[in-house]
Amino acid sequence: MAPIAQRPRGTQDLLPADQPYWDAMEGAAKAVAGRFGYQRIETPIFEPTELFQRGAGESSDIVAKEMYTFNDRGNRSLTLRPEGTAPIVRAYFDGGLDREPQPVRLFYYGPYFRYDRPQAGRFRELHQFGIEAIGDASPVLDVEAIVLGWNWFAALDIGGVSLHLNSIGDEVCRPAYRELLREYYRPHLAKLSEESRARFEKNPLRLFDSKDPQDEALKRDAPHIIDHLCAPCAEAFQVVKEGLASEEIPFELNPELVRGLDYYTRTVFEFQHASLGGAQNALCGGGRYDGLAAALGYRSTPGVGFAMGMDRTAIVLKQSKPLTLPGPDIYAVALEAADELYVFHLASTLRARGHRVVFDPGPARLDAKLRKAARRGARLALLVGPEEREKNQVVIRDMASKTQASIAKGELLSTVGQMLGGA
């Protein structure tokens, strides 16, 4: 009979061999976010569908095409979270964080769900590490977010990251620009791809996201919002650029960077990595979202943040820096079935001292057992057969030097302590 289940398309199993990369990413997230005073938050995996409709916005691809939405048994429409920012703004108000000293700085990591066509670097279950600083409009917090992200890459020793930066204005300057853009595109509507025609109506800024060769030529001469910012947006952007320069973080101004979520205002940015290639080269996306809280029905509250794509970062990490699982201190082997419980108990005694011990069950030849110990990367092997039991002895083998000695059972803890401590 064939196995019953297959992994759903666009998902992955993160096997033990993958875990060192995830440990490194999560460890760096905690360490770096902690250094900047960001505190961990976790929100539910599913939320009311409306949160994302109003947050990411009806015109975003995420909401229009990619949500995992279902009705629960109480007939409520719920959605597996496609992104973290709207849920965190909800939690900020639900949890009373809006009454704490501002800004409130939060970080998070976990799984997100988007129903898109899977390809290299694009998953249906993806993972993000993100930060949000909510409750203060200072553009220096935009700089802080970018510096924090930059430091995360540095902590992981990931080079080759480029920062793309733009400002997409706010509700003061964007409406006029939107009209300007429509005016520019209107005479060419017939030449646009179908998707771009829909964007022309709903959210013309996203015309810049088109990858359609048909639209490329038109994109080149289109007006850029960066040239049409109102004075406060232009001043804020100036601070961001100066801040990055003084922090010595190189950036590329990318006037076509508009981001795919509707909630952004002013600063938007992406970290990209050339080795990912193709369309999925963004390792991270972020920006300011001063209108999001109000769009969700809360008191107007500014915020800024980013989300790193951990799956893509894992791909880059694997290419640049192989990491392996740490092996156990001791691999404990019974040579015959009758010795198993005896060895299991010795293993317990060693664990009580804080050693990491893997017990190996089942009869097998000694050389096969030692190969298993080596494969697991154990530093020592503990070997017990009928002869050792009879003499109240054990054999300790140093796996690296391939030397071994019989010792009295009573000396096990001190010998192991010396051998492990002295290495």
- Which residues on adjacent β-strands are paired with residue 305? 132, 287
CB closer to ligand HAM, 106 vs 226: 106
Cβ proximity of 257 and 166 under 8 Å:
yes
Instruction: Report the nearest approach of ligand HAM to the CB of residue 32 (Å).
Output: 16
CB neighbour list of residue 150: distance below 8 Å, 6 or more residues apart: 161, 163, 247, 249, 271
* Residue 314 burial (CB count, 10 A): 18
Query: C-beta of 79: minimal distance to ligand HAM in Å?
Result: 14
Pick between residue 196 and residue 313 the one whose CB is nearest to ligand HAM.
Answer: 313
Closest separation in Å from C-beta 320 to ligand HAM = 17
Nearer to ligand HAM, 33 or 283 (CB): 283
Comparing CB distances to ligand HAM, the nearer of 153 and 306 is 306
Least Å distance, CB 274 to ligand HAM, is: 14
Q: Work out how close the CB of 153 gets to ligand HAM at its nearest, in angstroms, rounded to a whole number.
A: 12
**C-alpha distances in angstroms, 25 versus 21, 38, 90, 288, 408?**
6, 16, 26, 24, 44
User: Smaller CB distance to ligand HAM: residue 7 or 220?
Assistant: 7
* Beta carbon of residue 39, minimum distance to ligand HAM (angstroms, whole number): 16
d(CA 326, CA 324) in angstroms, rounded, equals 6
**Least Å distance between CB 152 and ligand HAM?**
13
| Residue (of 185, 217, 173, 210) closest to 195 by Cα position | 210
State the Cα–Cα distance between residues 187 and 208, nearest whole angstrom: 17
With b meaning 16 or more CB within 10 Å and e meaning fewer, what string describes 317-350?
A: beeeeeeeeebbbbbbbbbeeebbeebeebbeeb
Burial of 366 (0-12, 13-18, 19+ CB in 10 A): middle
**Among residues 124 and 389, whose Cβ is nearest to ligand HAM?**
124
Shortest separation between residue 316's beta carbon and ligand HAM, angstroms = 10
CB 395, min distance to ligand HAM, A: 49
Return the amino acid letter for 150.
Answer: W
**HSE (side-chain half, CA atoms, 13 Å) at 402:** 4
Q: Which residue has the tokens 């409009």?
A: 137
CA torsion, ordered 183, 186, 188, 191, to nearest 10 deg: 140
* Contact status, residue 236 vs residue 167, Cβ threshold 8 Å: yes
Which lies closer to ligand HAM via its Cβ, residue 130 or residue 328?
A: 130
Alpha carbon distance 397, 383 (integer Å)? 8
**120 vs 337, which CB is nearer to ligand HAM?**
120
Q: How far is the CB of 171 from ligand HAM (least distance, A)?
A: 18
| Residues in the chain, overall count | 423
User: H or E element: which one contains 155?
Assistant: helix 139-155
Shortest distance, CB of residue 421 to ligand HAM, whole angstroms? 43
Run of H or E residues at 360: strand 357-360
Residue 115 or 184: which CB sits closer to ligand HAM?
115
Which residue lies nearer to ligand HAM by CB, 267 or 393?
267
Euclidean distance between CA atoms 105 and 126, whole angstroms: 23
User: How much is the CA Rg of the chain, to the nearest whole Å?
Assistant: 28
**Residue closest to ligand HAM, measured at CB:** 309
Name the residues that contact ligand HAM, by CB under 6 A: 83-85, 114, 116, 122-123, 126, 128, 130, 132, 261, 282-287, 289, 305-307, 309, 311-312
Q: Cβ closer to ligand HAM: 146 or 282? A: 282
